[in-house]
Structure 1
Amino acid sequence: MNVAVVMGGYSEESVISLRSGQLILNNLDKSKYQLFEVHILLNEWYCLDEGAKYPINKADFSFVKDNQTIKFEIAVNTIHGTPGEDGHMQAYWELVDLPYTGCTFYQSALTFNKRDTLSVLSKFNIPKANSIYVTKGDAIDGNKVAAELGLPFFVKPNQSGSSLGVSMVTTLDDFQKALDFAFAEDNDILIESYLNGREVSVGVLKYQGETKVLGITEILSQNSFFDYEAKYLGKSEEITPASISQEVENSVIETAKKVYESLGMSGFSRTDFIIMNDVPHFIEINTNPGLSPQSIFPQQAAFAKLEMGNLLENEISLALQRKPIWKK
């Protein structure tokens, strides 16, 4: 089976995606699959094979090598950010009739949009921070924001990953700088109240027909919050399993499953919570979690005593079983 391991992307998360792609290439069974390293970058799409670049034909997601057209039977998607985590690639793959791993284009688009995700989850009584939604050009009164949400509060791009463009505002003197930082990533932003508690991250996936929680990891950031430096530059401690009571652990597990199922998810995911007063409050869900050696999801798989190769096999099996809406 010709398998495209698709990595890269159009955002600053591209570098992290390339690391995730290498982990997938190293863990899939090469006796069973013919693996191809496919890069989706802003200026070019290509297959990297034996050091040479072969342009991807966007008409059918194939490439030509030695005058032979090579077509894929499945795409293993590990793009972080746009266009692989926001639904664009998934919709394209459906149009060219290529199975792909992870969630569908709708779930990808929904969960990449923080405001819309929070709106859906509010119908299921998932605890979360209070928030204000702002579009670039709107008049924003910092004093009114502080009166409604309290200080400190967070300013976040509505659609972004890896904590890019996120700031904690502790004084209104920093508010405009935080707005500029967030608007550099997206024209829409969320301003959220600060949740004073312990941060945990939970790996969830569909495995052998059930929604399975791999583990709960507590995040201890050296910075004021779990920002890009803490995530990828070693400025955090990640403890798996989290040292929490059995009662709180059960609550986190059940809430993580409820979030996953309420959003109609499939594929790998990592959901972040703040535990405040023993209650897990939803922060966000990542539908293409990092799979580099430093990433949380592989740590949780190891804790659950599940090999990444087996989890990836499960993902491929689910992808091959799924049919696009127009084929049902």
Structure 2
Amino acid sequence: MKKNVAIIAGGDSSEIVISLKSAAGLSTFIDKERYNLYIAILKKNEWIVELPDGTNTVIDKNNFSFQEKGVGKKFDFAYITIHGTPGEDGRLQGYFDMIGMPYSSCNALVSAITFNKFVCNNYLKGFGVKVADSIRLFGGESADTDEVVSRLGLPLFVKPNVGGSSFGTTKVKSAGQLQEAIAHAFAEGEEVILEQFIAGTEVTSGCYKTKEKAVLLPLTEVVTDNEFFDFDAKYNGQVDEITPARISSEMTAKIQEETSRIYDLLGATGIIRIDYIIQATGEPVMLEVNTTPGMTTTSFIPQQIHAAGLDIKSVMTEIIEDALLRRK
């Protein structure tokens, strides 16, 4: 009997628009001959499932079940593609753990750690991972401009500490821009991170592991004329994404090995993507870890899977079946 798979989209942040695009991508990537696919959209006050006839039905939060044509149904697996709260910060993972639902991404603890950029980077720094220097601000907390510039230099980045898709992010090039940039970032979240700017070549590295194997995907090089890899660069085509990246095989292997090491240090599961800057000195600096990477048809991970010569439906099946096996 075919298993029921929920593609979990939506969320409570500005990234909902990207989440819905990822859900549409996943609905073409996952094998429909093997699984019954449903898109479940989770918002703060509304959890629904889109049915094949175009109607919606409410999800029972007690066990994540739903009704279709008067028949009660339950899901066998959840593929989480919410970018932001509650699907990327561990809250949804904790819920699924409590009801015994297998899912695609990292567990609640790992998701919570990686969602908080400052916590994640400083955790990994303790294991020798090279990261940019940063300062964290909590809601209502101020920063002295002179002290920040003295420590981090200019330019520097100001962004929400928990969030993605570059919402609320500013590249600050002068001291006079700092306070406005902090206010802009606080509009997106309760914590803000001020981060040292690292010049160099930006690359991103995808990886997934199952009980049977580890797959280190080709790197993608990110080239944009914008100030940084912002929302327009990510989603409005103002970027060149080159896969495989135009770097040496030695550097590629070094970054892939570091991605694999970070995967294990975190205890990650499913597909993750890690962003780096390769400095002019040849030293890669880790920017951040993404445990629910975008899965639109043009996102990095699908590009890297294609460049690796892999079939994306087979990869999705591996992810799903491995998670189901771990639950037995």
- 2:4 corresponds to: 2
Aligned residues with identical type, % of pairs: 40
Alignment of 1:305-324 (within 5 A): 305-323=309-327
1:235 aligns with 2:235: no
1:261 aligns with 2:246: no
Q: Go from structure 1 to structure 2 and tell me whether the alpha carbon gap of 1:20 and 1:59 turns closer, same or farther (over 3 Å shift).
A: same
Partners of 2:132 and 2:39 lie apart in 1 by 40
Q: Which residue is equivalent to 1:22?
A: 24
Residue 255 of structure 1 aligns to a residue whose secondary structure is: helix
Any idea what the Cα deviations from partners look like across 1:104-123, whole Å, max 9, x if unmatched? 11111110011110121012
Q: Report if aligned partners of 1:199, 1:274 keep a CA contact under 8 Å in 2.
A: yes
Provide the residue aligned with 1:146 in structure 2.
Answer: 149
Aligned to 1:43: 45
Following superposition, the deviation at residue 318 of structure 1 comes to 1.7
| Alpha-carbon distance in structure 2 between the residues aligned to 1:42 and 1:238 | 34
8 Å CA contact 1:251, 1:279 repeated in 2: no
Secondary structure at the aligned position of 2:10 is classed as: strand
**Aligned counterpart for 1:114 among listed residues 103, 114, 117:** 117
- Confirm or deny that 1:100 pairs with 2:106: no
1:309 alignment partner AA:
K
Q: 2:315 & 2:277 partners in 1: Cα distance? A: 27
Contact preservation (8 Å) 1:13, 1:81: yes
Q: Report the AA paired with residue 287 of structure 1.
A: T
- Tell me the C-alpha RMSD between the 2 structures: 1.4
Matched, 1:285 2:289: yes
1:284: Cα distance to partner? Answer: 0.3
Trace 1:186-265 onto structure 2 (pairs within 5 A): 186-207=189-210, 209-265=212-268
- 1:14-39 CA-to-partner distances (Å, cap 9, x unmatched) read 11111211222222222221111211
Equivalenced residues, count: 324
After TM superposition, the score normalised by the length of structure 1 is 0.95
Structure 2 letter corresponding to 1:19:
K
Give the partner amino acid of 1:115.
Answer: F
5+ residue gaps, structure 1? none
Match of 1:11 among 10, 13, 23: 13
Tell me how far apart the structure 2 counterparts of residues 314 and 186 of structure 1 sit (CA, whole Å).
Answer: 35
Q: Distance in 1 between matches of 2:16 and 2:195?
A: 27
Amino acid at match of 1:26: T
Deviation at 1:193, TM superposition (A): 0.8
1:303 aligned to 2:304? no
Task: Give the structure-2-normalised TM-score.
Answer: 0.95
Q: Where in structure 1 do 4 or more consecutive aligned residues deviate above 6 Å?
A: none
Q: Residues of 2 paired with 1:52 and 1:143: CA distance?
A: 56
Quick check: 2:210–2:322 contact (8 Å CA) kept in 1? no
Matched to 2:39, the amino acid is E
Give me the whole-angstrom Cα distance separating, in 2, the residues matched to 1:195 and 1:31: 46
Q: CA deviation at 1:74?
A: 1.1
1:137 Cα deviation from its structure 2 partner: 2.0
Task: For residue 79 of structure 1, report the CA deviation from its aligned partner.
Answer: 1.3
Q: Which amino acid aligns with 1:95?
A: M
Q: How far 1:208 sits from its partner (Å)?
A: 5.8
Residue type of the alignment partner of 1:294: T
Match in the other structure for 2:127: 124
From 56, 65, 71, the equivalent of 1:62 is 65
| Aligned partners of 1:120 and 1:263 also within 8 Å | no
- Which secondary structure does the structure 2 equivalent of 1:290 belong to? coil
The match for 2:79 among 76, 79, 82 is 76
Partner amino acid for 2:231?
A: Y
Q: What residue in structure 2 maps to residue 164 of structure 1?
A: 167
The Cα of 1:154 is off from its aligned counterpart by 0.8
SS at the partner of 2:105?
A: coil
Report the CA distance between 1:44 and its aligned residue.
Answer: 1.2
Query: Contact (CA 8 Å) 1:248, 1:279: kept in 2 or not?
Result: no
